[in-house]
């Protein structure tokens, strides 16, 4: 058994960002920039009005002043009007400022009297004008390499005339749920059987990371069937196998992977829940013929010892208990996927919270407590056992208790947001 930190370090050392690609802005949400992106225009690109009102010369406006309205400037094109003292131009939000004007008076602050207005307020230079470049300077960095593209990022890219962003690669994934007891939801269930809930769980977690779920298979605890299912699954960039990684006679995943020529890099990690977690890698095309260079030779030539090659599939074996599958996915699978996609920040969002109860971890593994973060307070939810799916469904955060760690109620702790 290795420590959780060592397992994560080992996995992250072995996986590498996939090649970058161009992706249309409308499809790039939640992918990661593969390079810095720089603004092409200042924002705003020209001085314009922040209000519907009148463009004026501020120092010619006192409260009660009458001004002659000499024209109208709507948004969309520049009528090239010029405002002098004693004059005003009717203007609308987003319209270019006419030459000579240095302020806008809101229409609510004037009284219109045919082609004149009376100003009912004091006016200061610069008022209600959005200055060119006040939000964003030309050439400023708008998206850093490794940063996630959010809704507002898409808008910012579009505001600069971008139609595409350069983003990191796409990770496609296969899921195999193992277990003789599993039945697909929708079918009749008999005593001793359970519905397969890990397939939808893993599928949802993969979707959250923007990985593409290529296939979802159920497989019985039978070595030959497992090998056949794995042969199909390893065609994807990553394969996640649920169940069958423990130490029972029906836990055949490790043996089947070895039959396929996989290298098992990690098996059993000091994490609770999730101890039987497995990580390995295997040639996508299966064992290579004797005559071709071995993966080890090719690795030494290209990516270096201890790296996963493009021709290899990463295999994650998560324990069948739903909470174990959830926790090990978030701690080990998610960061690996994000690294492949070119993300800089591989961690779940962390937030400080006031603990509402005393907690102690007297096990020999780091314990992830499932709980609810609400109004800055964290409370454990439901049974803290690896099968307790209902409790998990009611929680939105994880608290990591290190080996031997004790915490007291009212202490401020850092929790991981997992919803
Ligand atoms: P295993 O890791 O295969 O030893 O399974 C551990 C526990 O998780 C057992 O109680 C299984 O019935 C349960 N389990 C395994 N696979 C799934 C699944 N796909 N959905 C829900 N529970 C599962
Ligand atoms: Mg099983």
What tens digit of pLDDT does each residue of 242-285 get? 999 998 888 899 999 999 999 999 999 999 999 999 999 999 98
Q: Is the pLDDT of residue 304 over 60?
A: no
If you take atom 11 of ligand 1, which residue's CA is the nearest one?
320
242 lines ligand 1 (CB under 6 A): yes
**Binding site membership of 256 for ligand 1 (Cβ less than 6 Å):** no
Q: How far is CA 356 from CA 195, 367, 379, 384, 410, in A?
A: 34, 17, 6, 16, 6
In this prediction, residue 310 carries a pLDDT of 84
Cβ–ligand 1 distance for 324 under 6 Å, the answer no
Question: What's the mean per-residue pLDDT of the chain?
Answer: 95
Q: Does the structure show a pLDDT above 70 at 301?
A: no
Identify the three-state secondary structure at position 72: strand
User: What is the position in ligand 1's atom list of the atom closest to the CA of 321?
Assistant: 8
How confident is residue 356, by pLDDT bands cut at 50, 70 and 90? very high
Say which ligand is closest to the CA of 318: 1
Residue closest by Cα to atom 17 of ligand 1 = 320
Span of 45-59, 286-300, 301-315, 318-332 with lowest mean pLDDT: 286-300
* pLDDT value of position 295: 60
| Ligand 1 contact, 241 CB (< 6 A) | no
Backbone angles phi, psi at 28, to 5 degrees: -95, 0
Question: Does ligand 1 lie within 6 Å of residue 273's CB atom?
Answer: no
Ligand 1 midpoint to CA 222 (Å): 15
Our answer on whether the CB atom of 412 is closer than 6 Å to any ligand 1 atom is no
Q: Which residues pair with 141 in a beta bridge?
A: 38
Supply the pLDDT for residue 165: 98
Ligand 2 is an ion; its neighbours by CB within 5 Å are 179, 243-244, 320
Residue identified by tokens 């080996």 is 403
- Cα separation, 313 vs 262, in Å, equals 9
Instruction: Tell whether ligand 1 has an atom less than 6 A from the beta carbon of residue 217.
Output: no
Query: What is the C-alpha separation between 31 and 50, in angstroms, rounded?
Result: 34
Q: Which of 278, 318, 321, 326 best tests ligand 1's pocket when mutated (most atoms within 8 Å of CB)?
A: 321
The CB density around residue 118, as the number of other CB atoms within 10 Å, is 13
Confidence of residue 300 (pLDDT cuts 50, 70, 90): low
Residue 60 CA to residue 19 CA, distance in Å, equals: 61
**Is the distance from CB of 316 to CB of 337 less than 8 angstroms?**
no
Instruction: Please state the separation of Cα 25 from the chain's center in Å.
Output: 16
Tell me the per-residue pLDDT of 14-34, one tens digit each, with 9 for 90 and over. Answer: 999 999 999 999 999 999 999
Average pLDDT (331-335) is: 98
Within 10 angstroms of residue 412's Cβ, the number of other Cβ atoms is 11
Least confident of 131-135, 244-248, 331-335, 342-346: 244-248
Q: Compute the average pLDDT of residues 65-88.
A: 97
Ligand nearest to the CA of 328: 1
Distance set, CA 160 to CA 31, 134, 137, 142 (Å): 19, 15, 11, 9
User: How far away, in angstroms, is 321 Cα from ligand 1 center?
Assistant: 5
> Is 194 near ligand 1, meaning CB less than 6 Å away?
yes
249 burial via Cβ count (<10 Å: 0-12, 13-18, 19+) = exposed
The DSSP secondary-structure symbol of 295 reads H
């Amino acid at each position: 058994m290795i420590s959780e930190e060592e397992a994560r370090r080992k996995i992250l050392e072995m996986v590498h960002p996939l090649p970058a690609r161009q992706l249309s802005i409308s499809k790039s949400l939640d992918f990661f920039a593969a390079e810095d992106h720089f603004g092409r225009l200042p924002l705003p690109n020209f001085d314009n009005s922040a209000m519907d009102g009148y463009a004026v010369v501020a120092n010619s406006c006192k409260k009660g002043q009458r001004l002659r309205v000499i024209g109208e400037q709507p948004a969309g094109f520049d009528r090239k009007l010029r405002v002098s003292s004693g004059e005003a131009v009717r203007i609308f939000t987003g319209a270019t400022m006419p030459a000579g004007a240095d302020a806008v008076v809101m229409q609510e602050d004037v009284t219109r009297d045919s082609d004149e207005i009376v100003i009912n307020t004091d006016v200061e230079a610069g008022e209600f004008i959005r200055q060119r470049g006040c939000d964003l300077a030309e050439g400023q960095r708008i998206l850093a390499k490794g940063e996630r593209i959010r809704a507002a990022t898409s808008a910012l890219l579009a505001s600069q005339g971008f139609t595409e962003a350069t983003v990191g690669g796409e990770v496609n994934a296969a899921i195999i749920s193992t277990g003789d007891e599993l039945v697909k939801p929708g079918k009749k269930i008999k005593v001793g059987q359970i519905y397969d809930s890990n397939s939808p769980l893993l599928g949802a977690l993969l979707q959250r990371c923007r990985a593409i779920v290529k296939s979802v298979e159920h497989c019985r605890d039978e070595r030959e069937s497992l090998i056949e299912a794995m042969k199909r699954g390893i065609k994807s960039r990553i394969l996640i196998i649920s169940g069958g990684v423990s130490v029972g006679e029906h836990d055949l995943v490790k043996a089947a992977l070895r039959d396929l020529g996989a290298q098992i890099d990690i098996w059993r990690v000091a994490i609770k829940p999730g101890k039987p977690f497995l990580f390995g890698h295997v040639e996508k095309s299966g064992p290579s013929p004797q005559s071709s260079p071995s993966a080890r030779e090719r690795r030494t030539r290209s990516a270096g010892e201890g790296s996963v090659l493009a021709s290899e599939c990463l295999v994650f074996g998560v324990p069948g208990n739903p909470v174990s599958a959830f926790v090990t996915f978030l701690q080990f699978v998610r960061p690996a996927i994000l690294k492949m996609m070119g993300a800089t920040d591989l961690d779940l969002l962390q937030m400080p919270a006031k603990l509402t109860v005393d907690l102690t971890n007297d096990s020999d593994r780091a314990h992830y407590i499932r709980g609810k973060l609400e109004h800055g307070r964290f409370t454990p939810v439901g049974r803290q056992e690896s099968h307790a799916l209902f409790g998990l469904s009611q929680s939105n955060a994880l608290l990591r208790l290190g080996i031997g760690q004790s915490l007291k109620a009212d202490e401020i702790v850092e929790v991981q947001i997992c919803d």
